[in-house]
């Protein structure tokens, strides 16, 4: 699709806003609709659009498969790690109340952290799956 | 209205043999489902359906089509038994909805069990205004951890089955892009 000038220009304009919207959905999920899962999907979709328009090789340079592969695990580790931290603080697994002095604030912090973990894993997995599919097709 | 659109789309999906059109119709189907969820005030579900169903799965299905074939083979014979099974299951499901409480009924079991607790307790307990987020991430934190692990496993599975799409091993030949 390298020769589709209109597509290239429009997607170049849109992709920053898609990624920004994903971050908004991620960090505003506590107050409005959305959360880590939706944000991760939108973030991944931004990269997939980039790969569709500018080619897989270019996209691989932006989102290095080795980095993405690590991020797949990092998200789950953040989620599980929050649980371990609450264990170490003397609470039950994934009981966020002890993460701050006020239990409600600890809950808020814990929710934000695990949503971030969810978003990281989902975005990385979406990009990985797309790269795997698209990489197969070019043999 | 939306439901009838949904039915028309489903019938078109079943009857078409061109899989490219079927994938596009699946996207439309997901978008219609998202609209229905939106009408039912389930904003978070609607959001997910629009992003995953209409967005990502369409792209992944197209990716699969690029790897396989574009048209469906004509079946050798009409599949009467599956049709019968589907019809009976559908009839049973519709029969099951007959004695459901009216939608939005405050005395319905779904609005009586733990829902009042979440509605009253989630803001003081978690200081998160979005009850859906509070339930998913805090009250049902284990379930969400399980879901993330499922996604993680799916990613690992695709990597193992399809390879990581490493271009080092397979050099490009006549770059194939959609």
Residues in B closer than 8 angstroms to A103, CB to CB, are 125
Span of A62-76, B121-135, B162-176 with lowest mean pLDDT? B162-176
Between A4 and B147, residue with greater pLDDT: B147
pLDDT above 70 for A1 = no
pLDDT above 50 for B168 = no
Listed by number, the residues of chain B in 137-156 with a beta carbon closer than 8 Å to a beta carbon of chain A are 137-138, 141-142, 144-145, 147-149, 151-152, 154-156
For residue B139, count other CB atoms closer than 10 A to its CB.
19
Residue B164 banded pLDDT, cuts 50, 70, 90: low
Answer yes or no: do A108 and B156 touch at CB < 8 A: no
Residues in A closer than 8 angstroms to B164, CB to CB, are 65, 69, 128, 131-132, 135
Closest chain A residue to B157 measured between Cα atoms? A129
Best-predicted range by mean pLDDT (A27-36, A102-111, B104-113, B154-163): B154-163
Between B47 and B106, residue with greater pLDDT: B47
- A54 has a chain B CB within 8 A of its CB: no
Query: What's the DSSP call for residue B98?
Result: T
Q: pLDDT tens for residues A55-82?
A: 888 888 888 888 988 999 999 999 988 8
pLDDT at position A33 = 81
Place of tokens 């038994």: B81
Give the angle subtended at the CA of B47 by the CAs of B44 and B50, to the nearest 5°. Answer: 150
pLDDT above 80 for B37 = yes
Beta-ladder partners of B139: none
CA-based nearest distance B23→chain A, Å:
16
Query: What's the DSSP call for residue B18?
Result: B
CA-based nearest distance A93→chain B, Å:
9
Record the pTM: 0.82
Best of A24, A122, A124 to mutate (most B CBs within 10 Å, chain B): A122
Answer yes or no: do B141 and A31 touch at CB < 8 A: no
Span of B29-33, B50-54, B122-126 with lowest mean pLDDT? B122-126
CA-based nearest distance B68→chain A, Å:
9
pLDDT at position B170 = 46
Rounded mean pLDDT, B25-45 = 90
pLDDT above 50 for B178 = no
Domain ranges of chain B: 1-73
Residues in B closer than 8 angstroms to A137, CB to CB, are 63, 66-67, 176
Closest chain A residue to B49 measured between Cα atoms? A38
Looking at this predicted complex, what is its ipTM? Answer: 0.86
pLDDT above 70 for B167 = no
Listed by number, the residues of chain B in 35-74 with a beta carbon closer than 8 Å to a beta carbon of chain A are 43-44, 46-48, 51-52, 55-56, 59-60, 63-64, 66-67
Q: pLDDT tens for residues A29-51?
A: 878 888 888 899 999 999 999 98
A135 vs A139: CA distance, rounded Å: 8
Q: How many residues are present in chain A? A: 139
Domain at B1-73: CATH architecture:
Up-down Bundle (1.20)
pLDDT at position B152 = 92
pLDDT above 80 for A3 = no
A10 vs A54: CA distance, rounded Å: 12
What's the sign of the alpha-carbon dihedral A38, A40, A42, A48? negative
- A109 has a chain B CB within 8 A of its CB: no
pLDDT at position B127 = 77
- B111 has a chain A CB within 8 A of its CB: no
pLDDT at position A123 = 92
Residue A14 banded pLDDT, cuts 50, 70, 90: very high
pLDDT at position A2 = 60
A138 vs A31: CA distance, rounded Å: 43
pLDDT above 60 for B169 = no
Q: pLDDT tens for residues B132-163?
A: 888 888 888 889 899 999 999 999 998 888 87
Between A2 and B80, residue with greater pLDDT: B80
Answer yes or no: do B151 and A105 touch at CB < 8 A: no
pLDDT cut 70: percent of chain B above it: 92
pLDDT at position B172 = 41
Residue B166 banded pLDDT, cuts 50, 70, 90: low
Average pLDDT, chain B: 82
Closest chain B residue to A130 measured between Cα atoms? B60
């Amino acid at each position: 699709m390298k020769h589709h000038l209109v597509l290239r220009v429009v997607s170049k304009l849109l992709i920053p806003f898609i990624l920004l919207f994903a971050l908004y959905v991620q960090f505003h999920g506590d107050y409005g609709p959305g959360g880590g899962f939706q944000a991760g999907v939108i973030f991944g979709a931004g990269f997939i659009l980039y790969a569709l328009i500018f080619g897989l090789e270019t996209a691989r340079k932006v989102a290095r498969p080795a980095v993405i592969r690590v991020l797949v695990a990092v998200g789950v580790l953040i989620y599980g790690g929050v649980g371990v931290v609450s264990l170490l603080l003397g609470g039950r697994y994934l009981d966020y109340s002890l993460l701050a002095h006020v239990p409600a604030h600890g809950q808020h912090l814990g929710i934000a952290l695990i949503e971030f973990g969810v978003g990281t894993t989902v975005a990385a997995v979406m990009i990985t799956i797309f790269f795997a599919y698209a990489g197969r097709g070019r043999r | 209205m939306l439901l009838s659109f949904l039915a028309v789309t489903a019938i078109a999906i079943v009857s078409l043999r061109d899989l490219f059109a079927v994938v596009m119709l699946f996207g439309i189907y997901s978008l219609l489902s998202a609209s229905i969820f939106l009408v039912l005030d389930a904003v978070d579900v609607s959001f997910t359906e629009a992003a995953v169903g209409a967005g990502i799965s369409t792209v992944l299905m197209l990716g699969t089509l690029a790897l396989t074939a574009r048209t469906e083979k004509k079946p050798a014979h009409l599949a009467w038994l599956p049709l019968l099974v589907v019809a009976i299951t559908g009839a049973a499901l519709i029969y099951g909805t007959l004695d459901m409480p009216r939608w939005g009924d405050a005395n319905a079991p779904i609005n009586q069990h733990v829902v009042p607790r979440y509605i009253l307790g989630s803001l003081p307990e978690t200081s998160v205004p979005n009850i859906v987020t509070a339930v998913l991430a805090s009250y049902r934190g284990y379930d969400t951890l399980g879901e993330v692990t499922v996604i993680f496993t799916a990613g690992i599975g695709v990597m193992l089955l399809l390879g990581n799409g490493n271009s080092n091993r397979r050099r490009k030949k006549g770059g194939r892009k959609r």
